[in-house]
Chains A and B, each alone.
Chain A
Amino acid sequence: MKSRKRLFRLSLRTLVPQGALVPSLILLLFISVILTFYFFKETIHIETPMNGKAVASEGDKHFVLIIQELENPYLQELYAGAKAAAGEKDVTIEFWGTPQTNVDDHITLIEMAIASKVDGILTQGLTQEFEPVIHKAVESGIPVIFVDSDLEKNDDRTYVGTDNYQAGYEMGVTVLEETSGITKIGILNGNLINSNLEERVQGFLDAIGTEDRMQVVAIESSNLSKIQGAEKTYRMLKSHPDISIMFGTSALDSFGIVEGIKKANPASEVRVYAFDVLEETIDLLKAEEIHSALKQEPYQMGYTGVNLLLDTIQGKEIEDNIYTPISILTKEDVENETDS
């Protein structure tokens, strides 16, 4: 009995060193208590779904900007300007749009904005088809301002944006200045819906029409698609190899033209005159694949648009047409800009 007990104690002692048992257990207890409290603290910290927490007060205005292409960087720039102005004036602005240009969906969006009883609508004036719904909005007491593009027959609605006819005209004048002799021109028009693009073409045509040496050999539509633009350009160059000037009415058109020229690989140089300056455009300008580009100010359009809506609500008289500045950029301008 006694010897067995002694044996047992002996084995216990060899298993666990007597001196280390209690300190190691206390250490274990200490560590696990600390960890328990650490994780317990983490479990206390919890997000609850926010319910019924209104942040904006009743008096704040709520505007909607409705555009034709959500992913378009140019239009996003426009939204950025609108958002900046909204931020300054404590206005909430929503950015609505169709994934791709779709007049019916665009009208539906405007109707939805009216049903949502927004305080003001900024929209592109793509076609004359917008007129009834715009009328309905104004009837409901919602002011509407067109940005970037105006309706063809716009008598009393405010438009903020580039004077598209003037822009096209200036582009035409530039081409006149930079060419001599008989020059054959191809035009790629973004789409046949947008009246603003038509205006650009008209301005361009009017400018070059002053001299007989200018001959427009083809006008095609890219449907605001880069791939279609490239295809149209390729065909244009194949059927008219003597084209030396290509004019694109939108940013995507100019990319399509560049792509098409590369494919067609013409014998003589083809100069590209483009609209809108995006990151990609700057690269192409530097690479001399685009000769010059007309720069619009979408940011300013958005910014001015929001301010004008507020002015309208406050009952101020505003002008019908407010033109944002334009400039024609060349390789030198772009390089200087990046230098400075």
Chain B
Amino acid sequence: MKLIHNLTISIRTKFIFFFIILFLIMISFSLFVVYNNNQTIQQYTMIQERFFMLNDVSQKSAKTYEAMETFLIRQLPTDLDQYQASRKELIDAKRRLETNFQNELNFIETENYQNIIDSFIEESDSAVYSLLEGDIEAYSASQKEAFKLIGFIQDQTLTLLNEDLSMFQTYYNAINKRNDYVKLTLVFMTIAALSFGLIITYLFSQNITRPIYRLTHAAREVARGKLDGPTLLEANDEIGFLSKTFNKMRRDLEYNVRQLKEKSEQEKLLKEMELKSLQSQINPHFLFNTLNTISKYALIHGSEQIYKLINSISKLLRYNLGAMDKPVTLADEISVVQEYFYIQKTRFQDRVDFVVNVSDDCLSLKLPILTLQPLVENAFIHGIEPYEQKGIIEIEGYSQDEYVVLKIRDNGIGMDQETNRMLLDKSTSTSRSTGHSTGLGVKNVFRRLELFYQSKERISIESEIGKGTTIELVLPKNFTLEVD
């Protein structure tokens, strides 16, 4: 079975091959039967011919004797001709014995038989010639002798017939035995052909019917919407080709469906983000205007610090309310983080320091909006706020081959392994993060990065309790979205 599997034979070839073998078997069947029948008939005919031959000789010798007798009585030339004709026929019949009757078993008997016939002919001739010469005494003696010889011929004919019958007794038995063997041959030939047919049928069902069934089954599953069935076996025949094509179709279909799903999820996340933003901007224009007015008043009243602070808040808000579905540059992200930090610096004074250490060639990196700020904010809220000593938050960025590596490092309280794993686990849903200015948690950021870069980014978190946390993002440079 395996062997046939590995061969590159098309179903058509297999069928042709099978039917040719089947036809050969059937033809040999009938040839065998016909041949044997012919042979048996031939053998019987041969034996019968022997009997006919003996009968022929016996009859012709009788006829010769009669012709001789007729001539002796009537003495007509026509009778002499008749005698000569019969005599010739007898001699011919006798000669045939030599080639067609005599064999090693009855050699002597046949020889005797032929010699008796010769003696008979000689004696008859002598009778005829004695008469022609007028020697009456001699011809009657020869006739008497010839009569005796004809008796011998009849006797010897019977003896030979008897002997032939007993000689061929064994031969008849052999023929019958042979016929039995022919029957057995046919029986086993039938069994062989039957089992051959069964094996071939079974192999066909294995190689053709079963793959077709599997294909049907898989197609039905696809129709029902199940795209992740087991891959079909790809044999080297026509069915194999169908299976191969089907496998490819199903793979492509699954890919497309997944793409569609991801896109819709991306959109859903963006919607969520927008909603969060909207919640916090009851009336953005009013808020901006008011904040602008306050900042100007602060400047007029000589408080530059308030002016700056309010300006930062204003910028931050504007950024948050900007176009959410468009990618931004790393430079934009960093500037907005700095605004955020200015505000926090005002609040925490010297307790916190903020370091940005990003190489210039990375600043043009495209990334989704609000990537850095939520992460920095997270570091602030969870790492620095509960931390009693001086906190430092550092953003480091550099190029590495085709990637840009971004590290958000804090020296805060750190986190345990459980939290770490939970953040990186893609299966759990985005937890609602409280206390964030944007309302967006770390997981939201990670998920958006994944969707944006189509899983080509790498995210890792290095953290230990009491020693701070480092979030490392490795993002591909020059990434363009395929789906668009």
Contact = CB atoms under 8 A, between A and B. Distances in A.
Interface in B116-133: 116, 118-120
B479 to A, nearest CB: 47
Interface residues of B, number: 48
B483 interface: no
Contacts of B105: 50
Contact of B178 (A43, A92, A111, A118): A43
B367 to A, nearest CB: 51
B178 A49 contact: no
Contacts of B195: 25-26, 28-29, 32
B43 A53 contact: no
A129 to B, nearest CB: 17
Contact of B199 (A22, A43, A62): A22
Interface in A1-59: 21-22, 25-26, 28-29, 32-33, 35-36, 39-40, 42-43, 46-56
A47 B116 CA distance: 31
Interface secondary structure of B, over-half rule? helix
Nearest to B109: A94
Contacts of A51: 46, 50, 99-103
Interface stretch (B181-189, B392-400, B409-417): B181-189
Contacts of A53: 102-104
A115 interface: yes
A29 B196 contact: yes
Contacts of A49: 43, 46-47, 50, 103, 168, 171
A25 B198 CA distance: 8
Interface string A140-156: 00000000000000000
Contacts of A46: 39, 174, 178
Interface in A101-140: 111-112, 114-118
Contacts of B155: 112
A92 B109 CA distance: 11
B425 interface: no
A14 to B, nearest CB: 17
Contacts of A33: 188, 192
A115 B115 contact: yes
Contacts of A43: 36, 178, 181-182, 185
Contacts of A52: 98-103
Interface in B266-325: none
A116 B107 contact: no
18 contacts: A28-B195, A33-B188, A35-B188, A39-B188, A43-B178, A43-B182, A51-B102, A52-B98, A52-B99, A52-B100, A52-B103, A54-B98, A55-B107, A112-B112, A115-B119, A116-B111, A116-B112, A116-B116
Interface of B: 1, 32, 36, 39, 43, 46-47, 50, 98-105, 107-108, 111-113, 115-116, 118-120, 148-149, 152, 155-156, 168, 171, 174, 178, 181-182, 184-185, 188-189, 191-192, 195-196, 198-199, 202
